[in-house]
Amino acid sequence: MITSAGLALTLAAKILLGSNADADLVRCRATARNGEATIQVSQTHRVRDVAKGGPHYCSAEVTVEGSSGSMRRVYADIEPVGAQFGVAILPNPIERYRAVAKLGDYDGRLLLVDAGGGVVDLPGPAHFLAYGRMLIVEHHSDVYAVTVYDVSANVQVFAADDAVLANLLGTPVGDPARWLDVDGTIYLAPPSSAQGGPVLRLDNKHGGLIPARLSAERAAKAKPVHFSGLEGWQDCSCGPGTK
């Protein structure tokens, strides 16, 4: 687990980058460090007159430099598609990783950056760490999908969309999906599971989702799982808390 003492962090609040010929564009930059890795997000947000285009709403660039190499992602014209949009460095580490979240274009992403600058790019960005090492990541898109990434072994152990999950479960997972904690065991459950019934259990050894049944007694003990990655989000602002 990364501690505050071992994490060099500089989160620049939004800075206006000098005079701009287009007064309807606002720019921001945020930087964070994780060990030898430097992460930088730069964005341009169109705050008025979308008809001008270039970008219509938001453009973003993410760069990572470290001992393991470098990475650059460019999102030239992010489409909000009626929901949250933009890119942000998340304020809290995920075990040994710093994380960058991207929303919009029907293709949310979660970029995990290790201390050497290595990057894991997952469909995301909403996430929850189960059993201390199994990172459950939900894809922010028009089709529900989930990925499980073992942050201890640094490997993806499971991925499925709503059709595959429904086939495993025997019924649609519902929208939004329901993730439950029952006495420390994590389940993906359909809306009908409030009184017990078929569920998918997250395996604590291998990270797969395994068909199971939840009794009415255990269903009564279920607590909803809280996902991170979207709290405090401000569109195209480089990070939660900036404007």
So what's the pLDDT on residue 239? 63
**163 Cβ contact list (under 8 Å, min separation 6):** none
E strands along 90-192, which residues?
98-103, 109-113, 119-123, 125-130, 134-139, 145-150, 155-161, 178-182, 185-189
So what's the pLDDT on residue 16? 31
Q: Encode 134-166: b = buried (16+ Cβ within 10 Å), e = exposed.
A: bbbbbbbeeebbbbbbbbeeeeebbebebeebb
**Under 8 Å between Cβ of 14 and 237:** yes
The token pair that represents 86 in the structure block: 């933009």
**Under 8 Å between Cβ of 209 and 164:** no
Give the sign of the dihedral formed by CA 9, CA 13, CA 19, CA 22. positive
Write down the pTM of the prediction. Answer: 0.88
132 SS3 class: coil
Output the CA torsion 53→58→59→60 (10° steps).
Answer: 170
So what's the pLDDT on residue 166? 95
How many H-runs (helices) and E-runs (strands) does the chain carry? 2, 17
- C-alpha span between 62 and 74 (Å, rounded): 6
pLDDT by residue, tens only, the chain of 243 residues:
443 333 333 333 333 333 345 778 999 999 999 999 999 999 999 988 888 878 999 999 999 999 999 999 999 999 999 899 999 999 999 999 999 999 999 999 999 999 999 999 999 999 999 999 999 999 999 999 999 999 999 999 999 999 999 999 999 998 788 999 999 999 999 988 878 999 999 999 999 999 999 999 999 999 999 999 988 899 998 765 443
| Closest by CA position to 140, among listed 99, 191, 104 | 104
Phi-psi label, residue 23: left if phi above 0, alpha if psi -120 to 50, beta otherwise: alpha
